[in-house]
Structure 1
Amino acid sequence: MLRKSLAGLLLLLTISMTVKSQIKIGFEISFKEPQAHYAEVEMNISGLAKDYVDVKMPVWTPGSYLVREFAKNIEGFTATAGGKSIKFEKIRKNAWRIYHAKAKDIKLNYRVYANEVSVRTSFITDEHAFLSSTGIFMYPDGMLNLPSTVKIHPFNGWNKVSTGLEPVTNQPFSYTAQNFDILFDSPIEVGNQDVFEFTASGVKHEVAMFGGGNYDKEKLKVDMAKIVEQGTAIYGENPNKHYTFIVHNFEAGGGGLEHLNSTVLGATRTAYTSETGYKSFLNLVAHEYYHLWNVKRLRPAALGPFDYDNENYTTSLWVAEGFTSYYENKLMFRAGFFTLEETAQTLATAIAGVVNTPGSRVQSAAEASYDAWIKAYRPNENSNNSTISYYSKGEVMGLLMDLEITHATKGAKNLDDVMKAMYTEYYKKQGRGYTDAKFKAMVEKISGISFNPFWEKYVNGTGPIDYAKYFGYAGILVKDENAGMKVPYLGVASKKIEGGIIVSAVSRNSAAWEGGLNVNDEVISVDGIPVEAAIERMPTITGKNIGDEVTIMIRRDGIVKDIKIKLKAATSVKLVTQLDEKASASQLKVRTAWLK
């Protein structure tokens, strides 16, 4: 009986797989009104056997942990078979059910409004189209593993397409994706972008620049290649056949989003010729390129296979994103763009940023990771008091863990060894994601010591950062330049409005917090002196002493009132690093092994 049941099940699975293998999915994208920010999408599905099929649009995009409801941008949905309209209905916020009866081939058409400028959302103008695939392409329910083709019809005068998708031989602007995970992980730039190439680590890299800028292509080819090679050196391989950088240059731009074999970067078009601006761009390149290994292949268990209908929760974004922030510093150092002194100071400044965030004493790194969906991308005026960025805290934790491992092994191992071992074990051998416990176990295996106290204090806890101890391992001195200074501090941020100043944030446990000053209070005067500049810069505040009481006249909901506040001392730190000239041989060994 059992044998018959198993045989029956196997037969059903075989039939199901055969039916799915006969289904073909193709998209065509055109642009009738790019000036109005629209893309026209045609989706063709053939080989269907059931009486109906459900098609869905993702609600979020991997790498950006927020439900963005891409279906809100869909208009004019129609379904036809054999040139005739067929019945369909919307069955949930991001899903349509198409009743095709006996028709095996159906055509779906819809328009996508795309006018949100970011690295994670589509935006289309009369100059170009940037297609963030999760907000453009639908997928048949239960068929994420099926391949698809995409044909782009560029608008009049556009002549280039840049994407990580595989091109179809002898078919211009036509591409193929092995499955929908790959399609959704492949953004597309269409227009007249400036394209140049370089080869590094045996991989051809294409750079597509939109928006102009004062960049030097020849210099970028050399410097971006250095970053690629340093990242590849950590893992011993570059898993791509080709890689695409899509760069959007704006008057003021920034940010990036990683993809399987591509990335989208935001940049400031006039910043390439300044040392600070140029290195900032290379930092971004280093961050997003390191994601090629960390996140896109070595990943937390929750981040693949993806559920495109719902949130995908993990407590490990401090590794996935935070360690990537940390490694951008190591890649920049190893590529020769930063000195040891600059790298140490950059990391000390990162620590100060976490220490000076009140939320770092409220929310742990694991909690920040898990709550990314409801907090990280939805900040409010109290976020600084109640949350910490898993990027910022993870960067610091990467530094601490790296130094701890290097110290424990007397320079024989460092965090690189952990990351490579995790990549080998979970991506290459097991082909699955890791849990927080598995990551901890690998850290302990490589270091040879228990990391229970580290996890308790820094991963699941909100303990103070012992930065002097960890930097001390490498013979680096850290000084808090604010230590011992008695500076009166009100504890607010403010912004100018027409005719006045309003409070935009109040820092937890500050004088303003305890005195009852609120966000959106309009400040009229301080000790009777009318406000003419931001509160923090006023002589009536900076000229006072700790413990002094000030009277702040405000307007709240149209009612004028006085608030008396007793000034407290500023608690922020300003960390400055210095290489210890008296460092021991063991400290110097750690210092060398840590970054190189």
Structure 2
Amino acid sequence: MSHTTEAAGNLQINYTLSFPEAQAHYMDVEMNISGISQPFIDLKMPVWTPGSYLVREYAKTLESLTAEHNGKNLSARKINKNTWHVMLEGAQQVKVKYRLYCFEISVRNNFVSSAQGFIVGANTFLFPAGMLDNPSTIHIKPYKNWNKVSTSLDMVGNDPFTIHAPNYDILYDSPIEVGTQDVFGFEAAGVKYEVAMCLGGNYDKERIKKDLKKLVEKETDIFGENPNKRYVFIVHNYAKGGGGLEHLSSTVLGLPRDTYNTEAGYQRFLGLAAHEHFHLWNVKRLRPIALGPFDYETENYTTDLWIAEGFTNYFDNMVVHRLGLYTTENYFAALCTDINLIENSPGNKIQPLYEASFDAWIKYYRPTENSVNAGVSYYSKGSVAAMMLDLEIIQDSKTRYSLDDVMKYMYTEYYKVKKRGYTDEEFKQGLEKYAGKNLDDFYEKYIYGLADVDYNKYLGYAGLELIDDLAKSNQPALGLTTTVTNNKVIITTVIRNSSAWIDGLNVNDEITAIDGQQVMDVNAFIAGKKIGDKVIVNVTRDGLPLALPVTLLKNKQVKYRIASISNPSAQQIAVREKWLKQ
């Protein structure tokens, strides 16, 4: 897609956002464009937002688009799913109005209610075709008692309700919160930080400021600099839900409102903050070459999300541990969460890690009942790959280097010096530079291949081992998950090669009885059986009764933990200390 068809800056573009029907979840947008020299202008809505790799068809929320000049209506015809063709009839300026329905609670969609206006750039602002480099000004007319704007975009003058974007890439990468949020700040690593806590929550403001400051400085230490002048955390505290989305100079976090009530909940908040903040380097600046400049109208494929997301997933827990907020046992438990997820997913033997990255656009954000059997998370397996590479580098360099050094080198070399993204091979070369050896075998096994991970090889460098607490268990399992709805036991997942899979139980079957007994807790019932026992499972499928004989197989689930080996060597202790105490 061409970035420019006219010189950037030819057009004067102003948006006005208003919320006359916020209670009904509507935002009204007025777009004024002047300085047009063409007989027509095509206006486009992005179909996705960076950081969330799914075509979301944002144009589906747009209604009632009209165009006019000096009170005269102009033809504004939709010519494809996200483009409006406006005939100007000699006019050099045009006023375009449209409405957006904003009622999806997430970090990547607009959400408007009487309590707040959360504005996602890609979901809001039409752009003139070929003019992504054009600056724009946004004026916000707040609803009723809304009195604050939180965004990383700069104010125009001293008016917080008028902000400026130097181009559309930054506009689409700068969410805006308008409402009555609780705003407080701190300074860290020479950068001004703002936290906008939205919709309540039982949080300790001073503790958050203190801990986020430490977190920011720990992450800055890894890369050697903090490239922002100002950074904004927008935190949505809803009754339930969660998630996060990174941006160049801000992030949006979604958390349950009661998250802060427990120490475990508070640590989850810090872990999410650590993850999204780490992205300001890893992906927003140090990025796969495919991720920028963006084409906002189609998928932007990369095989490196295992680095962009998986490495970030690895470092978020590590940073919280380095802050002293996770004990070593907590940290090992967090690592094992990812390991157990991978090893209990049959899809780990089906989908290589590079392919999981590439197929994010069609698979990761569209999970089905069979996803656990067909794919692997590039977050979890990418995080484990990062752990293995970190330990390999520390071992091979005799504790001189670690994955931290790779991240700093790659950030400096590609973002700062070359001013572009990296290729697959270039990132591999960066890893090899600090490992001091060729990593073809690692890549062939674990990135492009489906080899079983030799966890104890890598953990062994640090005098640690992985122990499966279920290894000696001889419990049978059906190999399925269920949910109870209106007193009905419904199958929600069937695990590949399990008893249920082999003998024909299906997702959406209602289990009415096992061996003639009504059973609400299937796993508890099966736990009383032996491997090799046969049971009759009565189900209702598509309204028809069915009796299926099922032979119970061994429960193949694993439950790993990390423990120290007996008598680790001085070298193993040195690797462990370098790994855990950087």
Q: TM-score, normalised by structure 1?
A: 0.95
Give the 5 Å matches for 1:319-334.
Answer: 319-334=307-322
1:552 aligns with 2:540: no
**Quick one: which of 217, 222, 230 aligns to 1:234?**
222
Moved more, 216-225 or 472-481: 472-481
2:86 alignment partner in structure 1: 98
1:504 alignment partner in structure 2: 492
**Quick one: which of 5, 25, 45 aligns to 1:37?**
25
**Quick one: which of 189, 193, 213 aligns to 2:201?**
213
In 1, are the aligned partners of 2:62 and 2:101 still within 8 Å (CA)?
yes
1:569 alignment partner in structure 2: 554
1:342 aligns with 2:330: yes
Cα pair distance change 1:14/1:190, threshold 3 Å:
closer
Give the 5 Å matches for 1:4-403.
Answer: 16-17=6-7, 20-403=8-391
2:524 alignment partner in structure 1: 537
In structure 1, the residue corresponding to 2:159 is in which secondary structure? coil
Q: Distance in 1 between matches of 2:221 and 2:158?
A: 36
Give 2:26's aligned amino acid. Answer: Y
**CA displacement at 1:572 relative to structure 2:** 1.4
In 1, are the aligned partners of 2:6 and 2:131 still within 8 Å (CA)?
no
Q: Distance in 2 between matches of 1:200 and 1:143?
A: 36
**CA displacement at 1:335 relative to structure 2:** 1.3
In 2, are the aligned partners of 1:205 and 1:244 still within 8 Å (CA)?
yes
In 1, are the aligned partners of 2:136 and 2:166 still within 8 Å (CA)?
yes
In 2, are the aligned partners of 1:349 and 1:574 still within 8 Å (CA)?
no
Give 1:584's aligned amino acid. Answer: S
**CA displacement at 1:499 relative to structure 2:** 4.0
In 2, are the aligned partners of 1:37 and 1:124 still within 8 Å (CA)?
yes
In structure 2, the residue corresponding to 1:257 is in which secondary structure? strand
**CA displacement at 1:537 relative to structure 2:** 2.2
Q: Deviations over 1:61-89 (max 9, x none)?
A: 11001101000010110101122111121
Give 1:69's aligned amino acid. Answer: E
In structure 2, the residue corresponding to 1:264 is in which secondary structure? strand
In 2, are the aligned partners of 1:82 and 1:105 still within 8 Å (CA)?
no
Q: Deviations over 1:206-252 (max 9, x none)?
A: 11111111100001000011110000000110000100011010122
In 2, are the aligned partners of 1:355 and 1:465 still within 8 Å (CA)?
no
Moved more, 426-435 or 339-348: 339-348
Moved more, 575-584 or 163-172: 575-584
Give 1:587's aligned amino acid. Answer: Q
Instruction: Structure 1: state its 5+ residue gaps.
Output: 1-12
Q: Distance in 2 between matches of 1:561 and 1:15?
A: 64
1:4 alignment partner in structure 2: none
Moved more, 382-391 or 460-469: 460-469
Q: Distance in 1 between matches of 2:460 and 2:430?
A: 24
2:406 alignment partner in structure 1: 418
In structure 1, the residue corresponding to 2:261 is in which secondary structure? coil
1:590 alignment partner in structure 2: 575
Q: Deviations over 1:163-191 (max 9, x none)?
A: 01111113341111111000000000001
In 2, are the aligned partners of 1:209 and 1:248 still within 8 Å (CA)?
yes
Q: Distance in 1 between matches of 2:313 and 2:202?
A: 26
In 1, are the aligned partners of 2:4 and 2:130 still within 8 Å (CA)?
no
**Quick one: which of 403, 417, 426 aligns to 1:438?**
426
Instruction: Structure 2: state its 5+ residue gaps.
Output: none
Cα pair distance change 1:445/1:99, threshold 3 Å:
same
1:517 alignment partner in structure 2: 505
Cα pair distance change 1:526/1:15, threshold 3 Å:
closer
Q: Distance in 2 between matches of 1:250 and 1:15?
A: 43
Q: Distance in 1 between matches of 2:380 and 2:169?
A: 28
In 2, are the aligned partners of 1:80 and 1:86 still within 8 Å (CA)?
yes
Q: Percent identity?
A: 51
Q: Deviations over 1:236-294 (max 9, x none)?
A: 10000100011010122321000010000011212213110000100000000000100
Q: Distance in 1 between matches of 2:45 and 2:134?
A: 15
**CA displacement at 1:349 relative to structure 2:** 2.9
Q: Distance in 1 between matches of 2:168 and 2:400?
A: 42
In 1, are the aligned partners of 2:4 and 2:133 still within 8 Å (CA)?
no
1:8 alignment partner in structure 2: none
Q: Deviations over 1:126-177 (max 9, x none)?
A: 1111011110111000000111111111111110000011111133411111
1:460 alignment partner in structure 2: 448
Give 2:210's aligned amino acid. Answer: V
Give 1:151's aligned amino acid. Answer: H
In structure 2, the residue corresponding to 1:555 is in which secondary structure? strand
Compute the RMSD of aligned alpha carbons: 1.4
Aligned residues: 579
